[in-house]
Structure 1
């Protein structure tokens, strides 16, 4: 029986579906851990295939490849190096499980299955996996490891079962995505399990972006006395060797490594950077192209893109019309100068005149309205897509959650593109994030230290500039009011009566609710974007397009 143990925590960034690449990454982490004397390397949830695999795991050939990879990694442990707690999908008796395996001495020496399958928000594991039985501990070098997978930690019975069957420490591989209102929930649930069992707990989370989800890392260790000896960094891959000793009160981690998780706005900005970076990198785009209007949304999107990819991979385009002000042109130029990006100008007036000529006979006798405004937006979308097709860079859309909520966006126009970093960020938070980035810089950002956008972009009244003297507040309530109502409707699902009781104008609440519902068809056709809140449009909030319900009293 050993009294000391070195456990390596591999806070890794797998690519979903890239089994060979993930196995190569696992070998790299294991080699580094071996060089530092680790005896066991722990990997995040479903590492072999990536998380969340969704319906990919329903493909038999995919499961076969994952299971072969697990066996190949097991054989690797014949070399005398560290064992691995490796994760992946496994089938048994015609059923598919979310599994963790102990790989040692050239074989799979133990297997445990996830017991609690999440079926809410972005999770729908019940569709593809079977729940496993309550697990017992895994013996390793005379230590009984209580291994439970992600959601298993959020409920008491799995940890209780492990304690009652002799576990001496709890190890939790995770695929836990970021949302800015989750706060300390992970740590709080971990503390609850430690208090109930009096056992130390290792919480290992993956890192990286997967479509709309971003995994922020932030892995940690709690000792049995609820102290926090280890807090790993957010937003980056990392390997940490934790040292453990058995004492009179059981096992305890003696490593002291505490990284600052950052402020709330730092986390929001970083999740956009990491989400965009991995979406571009993992889908092998050479970079991004976006319209730079001189407004705050495009300026913030450009700043995130430069911080994620570097200025040389970001192409900005001004597309002025007759309604574009000199102020907007100056702000766009200065923003591009601050960021160091390539900036081209493509005036859209010739295309606008062409459309007027094409449609003139059909539109005869009508007044100009939103139709002509949307034509301008769609011309810009076609222009950006042409540049994307010609040069390969992905179009980055720049709309925010406030606009997407109420349909203040043109389908096939400014909604046109491959990805959106602001999709789940309300307008008021766009202002806050812009202010934060102008005053903060982090070492992993690829953009400049200092100002990344003119201050005028942040303080001037927002406008789409699709007609003379247009301002957003001509059509919408002030964003402070709009965003508060939207948060109540979207994130909190509050009733009309509850929102009005908070002091909001009844007719305004009715109008915003109606706009929210009728814009659902647009959101269904919008590009994916970084999930930031507890309820993003898409994976979290699934409302019908055809919907006659209105809560107006």
Structure 2
């Protein structure tokens, strides 16, 4: 029986489906851990395949490849280096399970399965996995480790079972995605488990972007008195070797390493940067191209892109029409200068004139309306897609959640593209985050220190500039009112009566509710984007397109 143990927390960024690449990454983390004297390396949830694998794990050949990878990594431990708590999908007889294995001395010496399969929000593991039985401890060097996989920590019975069957410390491999309202929920649940079991807990979370999800890391260790001894950095890969000592019949972490997680706006911005960075890089795009209009949404999107990818991989295009103001031209040019990006200009008036001519015999006798406005937006979308096709860079769309909620966006126009960093960020938050980024920087960002957009972009009244003297508030309520109603409808699922009781005008609530519902068909055709809130459009919120319900009481 040992009285000391070195456990490495591998806060790693796997690529979903890249089994060979993930094996290589595991080797690199293990080598680094071995150099620091670690005896055990703990990896995040479903590391071999990446998380969440969704229906990919229903493909038998994929699961077999993951199982083969687990065996290969087990063989690696014949070298006398550290053991691994490795995770992946594995068959248990006829059942496919979310699995953690102890790899040591060249073999898989223990296997445990996830008991609690989440089926809410972005999670639907119960669709593809079978829950495992309540686990017992895993012996390692005379230490009885109680291993819970992610969701297992959020309920008391798994930890209780482990404690009652002799576990001496709890270890939790995680794939827990970020949202800005989650706050300290993970830490709070861990504290509850520690209080109930009087056992220390090691929590290892994934880092990186996977489609719309972003995993923020932030791995931590709590001692049995709930003292936070370790708080790892968010938003970056990291490895930390922790020292453990037996104190009587208890284990304690002797390592103290605390990194501040940062404020709310900083976390939101980092989530967008990491989400875009991994979406572009993991899918092999050389960079992004976007329309830079001189407005706040495109400026913020460009800033995120430069911080994620570097200025040389971001191509900005100004596409002025007869309604584009000199102020917008100047602001776009200054924004590109501050960011150091390439800025090209493509005049869309020739295409507008062409469409006017093409459609004149059909539109004769009608007045210009939103049709002509949308044609301008679609010409810009077509222009960006042409540039993307020619040079390979992905089109980055720039719409925010307020616009996506109300349909204040043109399908096949400003909605066309491959990814959207602002898709889950309300307009009022865009203002706040832009102010924050203009005053802040980070060694995680590839963009410039200090201001990334002119202050005028943030403070001037928002406008689409698709007709003379147009302002967003011609079509929408003021954003501070609109966003409050939208948050109540979307994140809180509040009724009409509850929202009115909170102080909002009833007619306005009905109007916004109707805009939200009728725009569902547009959102189904929108690109994916970084999940920021508790209810992003996509897997979080799945409303029908055909929907006759309107809450009026």
Is 1:260 aligned to residue 255 of structure 2?
Answer: no
Cα deviation code 1:188-216 (max 9, x no counterpart): 00000000000000010000000000000
Q: Tell me what 2:430 maps to.
A: 430
Q: Tell me what 1:211 maps to.
A: 211
Q: Tell me what 1:452 maps to.
A: 452
Is 1:140 aligned to residue 140 of structure 2?
Answer: yes
Cα deviation code 1:468-504 (max 9, x no counterpart): 0000000100000000000000000000000000110
Cα deviation code 1:509-547 (max 9, x no counterpart): 000000000000000000000000000000100000000
Q: Tell me what 2:402 maps to.
A: 402
Q: Tell me what 1:304 maps to.
A: 304
Unpaired stretches in structure 2, ≥5 consecutive residues: none
For the residues of structure 2 that align with 1:266 and 1:299, how far apart are their CA atoms? 17
Q: Tell me what 2:53 maps to.
A: 53
Cα deviation code 1:71-103 (max 9, x no counterpart): 010011011000000000000211100000000
For the residues of structure 1 that align with 2:324 and 2:92, how far apart are their CA atoms? 63
Cα deviation code 1:374-413 (max 9, x no counterpart): 0000000000000000000000000000000000000000
Q: Tell me what 2:348 maps to.
A: 348
For the residues of structure 1 that align with 2:187 and 2:95, how far apart are their CA atoms? 32
Q: How does 1:280-429 map to 2 (within 5 A)?
A: 280-429=280-429
Unpaired stretches in structure 1, ≥5 consecutive residues: none
Q: Tell me what 1:156 maps to.
A: 156
Q: Tell me what 1:68 maps to.
A: 68
Helix, strand or coil at the partner of 1:76: helix
Q: Tell me what 1:12 maps to.
A: 12
For the residues of structure 2 that align with 1:21 and 1:449, how far apart are their CA atoms? 33
Q: Tell me what 2:110 maps to.
A: 110
Q: Tell me what 2:188 maps to.
A: 188
Q: How does the TM-score come out when normalised to structure 2?
A: 1.00
Q: How does 1:528-547 map to 2 (within 5 A)?
A: 528-547=528-547
Is 1:89 aligned to residue 113 of structure 2?
Answer: no
Is 1:174 aligned to residue 174 of structure 2?
Answer: yes
Q: Tell me what 1:198 maps to.
A: 198
Show structure 1 runs of 4+ deviating over 2 A.
none
Cα deviation code 1:394-444 (max 9, x no counterpart): 000000000000000000000000000000000000000000000011111
Q: Tell me what 1:231 maps to.
A: 231
For the residues of structure 1 that align with 2:170 and 2:425, how far apart are their CA atoms? 36
For the residues of structure 1 that align with 2:349 and 2:23, how far apart are their CA atoms? 53
Q: Tell me what 2:484 maps to.
A: 484
For the residues of structure 1 that align with 2:197 and 2:250, how far apart are their CA atoms? 12
Helix, strand or coil at the partner of 2:239: strand
For the residues of structure 1 that align with 2:260 and 2:289, how far apart are their CA atoms? 33
For the residues of structure 1 that align with 2:450 and 2:214, how far apart are their CA atoms? 26
Cα deviation code 1:317-373 (max 9, x no counterpart): 000000000000000000000000000000100000000000000000111000000
Q: Tell me what 1:31 maps to.
A: 31
Q: CA deviation at 1:248?
A: 2.2
For the residues of structure 2 that align with 1:465 and 1:222, how far apart are their CA atoms? 54
For the residues of structure 2 that align with 1:158 and 1:92, how far apart are their CA atoms? 20
Helix, strand or coil at the partner of 2:145: strand
Helix, strand or coil at the partner of 1:229: strand
For the residues of structure 2 that align with 1:457 and 1:469, how far apart are their CA atoms? 17
Helix, strand or coil at the partner of 2:228: coil
For the residues of structure 2 that align with 1:492 and 1:166, how far apart are their CA atoms? 42
For the residues of structure 2 that align with 1:328 and 1:75, how far apart are their CA atoms? 61
Q: CA deviation at 1:256?
A: 0.8
Q: CA deviation at 1:249?
A: 5.2
For the residues of structure 2 that align with 1:76 and 1:89, how far apart are their CA atoms? 19
For the residues of structure 2 that align with 1:188 and 1:202, how far apart are their CA atoms? 14
Q: Tell me what 1:515 maps to.
A: 515
For the residues of structure 2 that align with 1:430 and 1:223, how far apart are their CA atoms? 39
Helix, strand or coil at the partner of 2:278: helix
Helix, strand or coil at the partner of 1:41: strand
Helix, strand or coil at the partner of 2:333: helix
For the residues of structure 2 that align with 1:171 and 1:132, how far apart are their CA atoms? 17
Is 1:21 aligned to residue 21 of structure 2?
Answer: yes
For the residues of structure 2 that align with 1:62 and 1:450, how far apart are their CA atoms? 46
Helix, strand or coil at the partner of 1:252: strand
Q: How does the TM-score come out when normalised to structure 1?
A: 1.00
For the residues of structure 1 that align with 2:47 and 2:33, how far apart are their CA atoms? 17
Helix, strand or coil at the partner of 1:20: helix
Aligned residues: 553
